[in-house]
């Protein structure tokens, strides 16, 4: 497997992480509402702010490795902050930060991939990471339920920290230099 395709595997890991995070709170929302004394409106915001912030994927950003790595780090920081959120407003803000950081990683990551894949290779390079979204969204509620039932809803956020470290390492290691644009 060439470096370009390894980059797609790393991007697929990011897509899976972000997709699982989209649905992970669906099962845990009641426990979170109870533990943080959320109003019904705050509970709705908690669920829907993440996909709304993912609309940030429409923001034009450069497909640079540094942008992807910084946004991944921001996702990890927002996750860590969410794990220690003292109230609902802080948790909703952390979810918005996660969604926006994920959107920037996706936009910059796919722009970066586009620079390395031309012609007929672009579509498989695009579809492989996107195909990871569906199973990850199915795993999200299962993971959220298990973590909430046996540990705490806070582990839903904490588990992202080591996963982000792995994603950062994979993206940094497997992304070819920017000048390598030949198929």
pLDDT (tens digit per residue) in 122-133: 888 888 888 888
Token pair recorded at residue 129: 């990471």
Token pair recorded at residue 29: 């929302």
Note whether 21 and 76 are within 8 A (CB).
Answer: no
* CATH number for 30: 1.20.1250.20
Count: domains in the chain: 1
Domain assignment present for 180: no
Percent of the chain at pLDDT exceeding 70: 95
Token pair recorded at residue 130: 């996107």
Measured distance CA(152)–CA(96) in Å, rounded: 21
Domain assignment present for 115: yes
Domain assignment present for 135: yes
Note whether 144 and 48 are within 8 A (CB).
Answer: no
Token pair recorded at residue 156: 């839903």
Range of the domain at 59: 3-174
Domain assignment present for 63: yes
Domain assignment present for 143: yes
The set of residues, in sequence order, having a beta carbon less than 8 Å from that of 170 and lying 6+ positions away, is 9, 10, 13
Measured distance CA(34)–CA(15) in Å, rounded: 30
Domain assignment present for 181: no
pLDDT score, position 121: 78
Domain assignment present for 121: yes
| pTM of the complete model | 0.87
Domain assignment present for 149: yes
- CA distances, 75 to each of 78, 95, 106, 114, 127 (Å): 5, 9, 12, 23, 23
pLDDT score, position 28: 87
Q: Tell me the pLDDT band of 83, cut-offs 50, 70 and 90.
A: very high
Predicted confidence (pLDDT) at residue 92 exceeds the cutoff of 90: yes
Neighbours of 53 (CB within 10 A): 19
**pLDDT tens, residue by residue, 143-171:** 888 888 899 899 999 999 999 999 998 88
- Torsion-angle region of residue 119: left (phi > 0), alpha (psi -120 to 50) or beta? left
């Amino acid at each position: 497997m060439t470096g370009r395709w390894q980059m797609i595997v790393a991007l697929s890991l990011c897509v899976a992480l972000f997709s699982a995070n989209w649905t992970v709170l669906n099962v845990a929302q009641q426990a979170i509402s109870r533990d943080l004394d959320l109003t019904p409106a705050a509970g709705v915001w908690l669920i829907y702010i993440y996909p709304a912030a993912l609309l940030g994927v429409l923001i034009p950003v450069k497909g640079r490795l540094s942008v992807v790595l910084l946004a991944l780090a921001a996702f990890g920081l927002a996750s860590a902050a969410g794990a220690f959120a003292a109230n609902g407003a802080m948790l909703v803000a952390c979810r918005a930060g996660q969604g926006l950081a994920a959107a920037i990683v996706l936009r910059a990551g796919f722009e970066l991939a586009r620079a390395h894949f031309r012609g007929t290779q672009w579509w498989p390079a695009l579809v492989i990471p996107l195909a990871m979204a569906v199973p990850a969204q199915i795993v999200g509620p299962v993971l959220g339920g298990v973590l909430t039932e046996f540990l705490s809803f806070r582990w839903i956020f904490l588990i992202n920290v080591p996963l982000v470290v792995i994603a950062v390492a994979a993206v940094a290691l497997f992304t070819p230099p920017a000048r390598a644009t030949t198929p």
